[in-house]
Amino acid sequence: MTEVPARFEPPRRLLLGPGPSNVHPRVLVAMGRPVIGHLDPETLRMITEIDEMLREVFHTANELTFPISGSGTAGMEAAMTNALEPGDVALVLVSGFFAERMREIASRAGAKVVTIGGEWGVPVEPDDVAKALEEYPDAKVVCAVHVETSTGLLQPLEELGALCRDRGVLFIVDAVASLGGVPLLVDQWGIDVCYAGSQKCLSVPPGLAPITFSPGAVEVRERRVHPPQSFYLDALFIWKYVGRERRYHHTAPINMLYGLHEGLRLVLAEGLEARWARHQQVGRDVLSALQERGFDPVPPEGYRAPDVVCVRLPEGFEDAANRALLLERHGIDVAGGLGPMAGQVWRIGLMGESCTPENADALLRAINDLLARRRRDG
């Protein structure tokens, strides 16, 4: 390289895709504070406070609750690698892309994977899970995605948790796109392993995956004959670092943790109930405004996530060209469809700091502009 590139300046964006979401300035300031050691008593005190705040946000008393150093997918890998051994049977509820990723990771952990459902955007009924549990009495885990970001589907979990508890099966839940935005009661719903991501409804930059393990899940890990294949994601080893023993495991991303600490303070200051209500209100308003403009929701009524609005594009409304216009002219970032839905849907995220009536209005004004152009040009 003959010349050093100019300093990188990110453009101003309103992040209305399914993550990352906009970050509160207080979180960015926190992340710019000086680095201290990963075993400094003050770092460990901060981690203890993060874990305590995470227990509140997850609605759990689980001791083994902490942020994994990695994005939401690292949380998924940690859940699977700790719970599953080669030959175990894993039942996976599939309604979209991220459930398919769970299936893939469970299978890489050596599990025999059985799919329940399988149709994108269609919720799985508890009866189908009950049937699968009858058919596979040796099943070790049931896995479900709470908010399926690929389709905007909200999968009800409460009955599933009860089914798993009755049969002594571990219930693993992907709450990457729901924690801190949509009601999620880990203990009350009988969830054994639940993981999330920092960059969605918690509004912290990407890079951390909060996770919690029930006492039953800890026992499953402790009783393993072979330790998990992944050293980095072994929950018990990480706990020896962040828990009581404070023994070095890996160098925690200190400044990311500053950010999460500040982000969780903001979440708890607002209050979970108020936060859930805000997401519910803004999401509902955006969806009904989009319906008036000819965009139809993908999931059936009663199963629509408030914070990820997934809508089919009206006839003749181009996907890629309009998203490019939205980004270039209005600075607004939304996402297109994944897999079989590519080119057919938009996924609008209204998460954390991004989820405000003002941002919703800005989006709708911009979409009005795109629709007016289509009328003019078409």
- Binding residues for ligand PLP, rule: CB under 6 A, are 18-19, 71-73, 98, 145, 147, 149, 174, 176-177, 197, 206
How far is the C-alpha of 374 from the C-alpha of 376, rounded, in Å?
Answer: 5
Using CA atoms, how far apart are residues 204 and 353, in angstroms rounded to an integer?
9
By beta-carbon proximity to ligand PLP, the closer residue of 176 and 182 is 176
For 43, list phi and psi in degrees, rounded to 5.
-60, -45
Give CA torsion, residues 45, 49, 51, 52, to 10 deg. Answer: 140
Instruction: Give least dist CB 41 to ligand PLP, A.
Output: 30
Q: Are 312 and 299 in contact, with CB atoms under 8 Å apart?
A: no
CB of 358 vs ligand PLP, minimal distance in Å: 24
Closer to ligand PLP by CB, 118 or 206: give it: 206
Complex with ligand PLP: residue 18 or 366, whichever CB lies closer: 18
* Nearest distance in Å: CB 174, ligand PLP: 5
DSSP, res 304:
B
50 versus 202: smaller Cβ distance to ligand PLP: 202
Q: Are 332 and 14 in contact (CB under 8 A)?
A: yes
Report the residue number, 197 or 337, with the smaller CB distance to ligand PLP: 197
In whole angstroms, the minimum distance from the beta carbon of 106 to ligand PLP comes to: 14
CA-nearest of 147, 115, 119 to 129 is: 115
C-beta closer to ligand PLP: residue 79 or 366:
79
Strand ranges, E, within 199-268: 208-213
Min CB(132)–ligand PLP separation in Å: 21
User: For residue 302, what are the contacts with CB-CB under 8 A and spacing of at least 6?
Assistant: none
Residues 6+ apart with CB under 8 A from 150: 96, 97, 98, 120, 310, 337, 338, 339, 341, 347
Q: Looking at beta carbons only, is 104 or 125 nearer to ligand PLP? A: 104
Least separation, in Å, of the C-beta of 292 and ligand PLP?
27
Q: Which amino acid would we find at residue 374?
A: R
Residues 127 and 313: their CA atoms lie apart, in Å, by: 33
Least spacing, CB of residue 252 vs ligand PLP, in Å: 18
